[in-house]
């Protein structure tokens, strides 16, 4: 198989999945699961902050390790660059095994390979319960915001847990062998295949630099191309390539109601302004765009025709779709999809502002800033060597 060829997601039946909205629901469920662990806790995260939330999760991991549970933590070397010398160092003394994906070197010269980050947020408990989503281990509340960070995760029971567990172990082995000197032990706990736990068909879809370079993007494109009624997409960092944008426009032009819920409060200015530069082309095609205002939007979810849904870590931008290691769950289940859609519609009506065609409230100067940011992102993508793989649309 060609290295860039897409692998079709393998949907497994008989799963039970529960939607967890924001860290308010996620962190209590995660800590309860860690406290119930009898054999193994395996956790991957981009950020593991030394704040009140991070300390609560770390305390649960330490308790598990002290009672003899094998606890393995894999963090990103940029997103969690201080973890190994802070909370991580204390956890190691309790018996936790820690690996860092691509540790940041002391010298700060720009090399494009450093943009390849571990952006996944995955947890498996005893090979029987998994969590997948976009929520980092960090406080859910930002200063000056009137609500928690807007994000999602899912808890999973059933046969799909074995797939997630196997993929996490594979990643652990890859990072383990990349470390010189002392390496943590290879996992020895072997969970049994998980029995049926529900009625949901679901698949794990990942993005990496070998056999799964475009799997997440292609899964979105296939679902959007077959959409007949409605596409609702919420994404924190939205700067789609040409094929993705054309799929949204084509859906809107054939009568599909296409609604985007995007970041309204800028946390990364370059990406935020580049995103706003492409609004006009989407609005002119009939796509509805809303900007979330209550807090930072960090979600990476979508619902199509009330049947297809995805929850995960992948943004719709060059960094997630071309460089980072990402993980999404895709579900074929009407009750779940309709529940997620209802949650998104509530946010659209209560906490977001619609951007209308021809009445955008940005000044001429702001439009010039947006265009310049967009041009800079295109330049960076080209310099990184991905221009032929990721053609960003012209703004306007």
Q: Which of 119, 165, 272, 343 is catalytic?
A: 119
Find the catalytic residue in 42, 121, 273, 343.
Answer: 121
Q: Is 257 a catalytic residue?
A: no
Residue 242: active-site member = no
- Helical residues (DSSP H) of the chain, grouped into ranges: 22-36, 52-66, 87-93, 160-178, 215-225, 242-253, 269-276, 279-284, 318, 334-351, 364-383
Distance, in Å, from the CA atom of 321 to the CA atom of 314, rounded to the nearest integer, reads 7
- CB-based contact 134:300 (threshold 8 Å): yes
Burial of 390 (0-12, 13-18, 19+ CB in 10 A): buried
300 in catalytic set: yes
Q: What are phi and psi of 139, to 5 degrees?
A: -55, 140
356 is catalytic: no
Question: For the chain, what percentages of helix, strand and coil (3-state, to nearest 5) are there?
Answer: 35, 25, 40
Six-digit token string for 140: 């859910």
**Rounded CA separation 125/328 (Å):** 18
Q: What are residue 174's phi and psi, to 5 degrees?
A: -60, -50
Which residue is catalytic, options 151, 298, 333, 343? Answer: 298
Give me the catalytic one of 140, 305, 333, 351: 305
Which residue in the list 165, 212, 273, 300 is annotated as catalytic?
300
DSSP string, 253-321: HTT-EEEEEEE-S-SSHHHHHHHHTTHHHHHHTT-EEEEE-SS-B--EEEEETTTEEEEES--BSHIII
Residue 216 and residue 326: Cα distance in Å, rounded? 8
Q: Is there a catalytic annotation at residue 121?
A: yes
Catalytic residue among 126, 140, 215, 333: 126
By DSSP bridging, strand 122-125 and strand 129-133 are antiparallel
> Beta 129-133 vs 326-332: how paired, if at all?
unpaired
Give the angle 26-29-32 at the CA atoms, nearest 5°.
Answer: 145
How many of the other CB atoms lie within 10 Å of CB of 20? 22
**Has 119 been annotated as catalytic?**
yes
User: What does the alpha-carbon distance between residue 272 and residue 264 come to, in Å, rounded to a whole number?
Assistant: 8
d(CA 88, CA 234): 32
The token pair that represents 157 in the structure block:
């029971």
Catalytic amino acids? 119, 121, 126, 298, 300, 305
């Amino acid at each position: 198989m060609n290295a860039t060829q897409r692998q079709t997601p393998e949907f497994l039946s008989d799963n039970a999945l529960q939607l967890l909205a924001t860290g308010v629901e996620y962190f209590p469920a995660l800590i309860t699961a860690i406290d119930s662990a009898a054999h193994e806790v395996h956790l991957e995260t981009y950020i593991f902050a030394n704040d009140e939330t991070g300390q609560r999760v770390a305390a649960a991991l330490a308790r598990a390790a002290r009672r003899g549970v094998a606890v393995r933590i894999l963090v990103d070397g940029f997103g969690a660059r201080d973890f190994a010398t802070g909370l991580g160092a204390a956890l190691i003394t309790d018996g936790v095994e820690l690996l860092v994906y691509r540790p940041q070197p002391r010298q700060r010269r720009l090399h494009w390979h450093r943009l390849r980050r571990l952006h996944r947020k995955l947890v498996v408990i005893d090979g029987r319960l998994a969590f997948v989503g976009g929520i980092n281990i960090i406080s859910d509340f930002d200063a000056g915001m009137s609500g928690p960070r807007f994000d999602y995760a899912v808890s999973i029971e059933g046969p799909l847990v074995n797939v997630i567990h196997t993929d996490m172990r594979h990643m652990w082995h890859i990072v383990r062998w990349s470390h010189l000197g002392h390496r943590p032990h290879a996992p020895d706990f072997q969970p049994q295949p998980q029995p049926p736990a529900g009625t949901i068909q679901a698949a794990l879809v990942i993005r990496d630099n070998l056999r799964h370079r475009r799997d997440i993007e292609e899964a979105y494109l296939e679902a959007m191309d077959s959409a007949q009624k409605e596409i609702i997409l919420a994404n924190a960092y939205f700067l789609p390539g040409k094929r993705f944008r054309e799929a949204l426009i084509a859906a809107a032009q054939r009568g599909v109601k296409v609604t985007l819920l995007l970041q309204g409060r800028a946390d990364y200015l370059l990406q935020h302004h580049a995103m706003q530069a492409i609004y006009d082309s989407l609005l002119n095609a009939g796509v509805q765009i809303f900007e979330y205002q209550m807090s930072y939007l960090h979600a990476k979810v979508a619902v199509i025709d009330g049947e297809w849904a995805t929850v995960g870590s992948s943004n719709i931008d060059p960094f997630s779709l071309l460089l980072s290691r990402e993980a999404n769950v895709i579900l074929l289940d009407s009750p779940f999809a309709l529940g997620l859609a209802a949650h998104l519609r509530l946010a659209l009506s209560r906490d977001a502002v619609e951007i209308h065609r021809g009445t955008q409230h940005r000044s001429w100067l702001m439009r010039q800033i947006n265009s310049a940011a967009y041009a800079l992102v295109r330049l960076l993508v080209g310099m990184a060597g991905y221009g032929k793989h990721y053609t960003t649309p012209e703004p306007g």
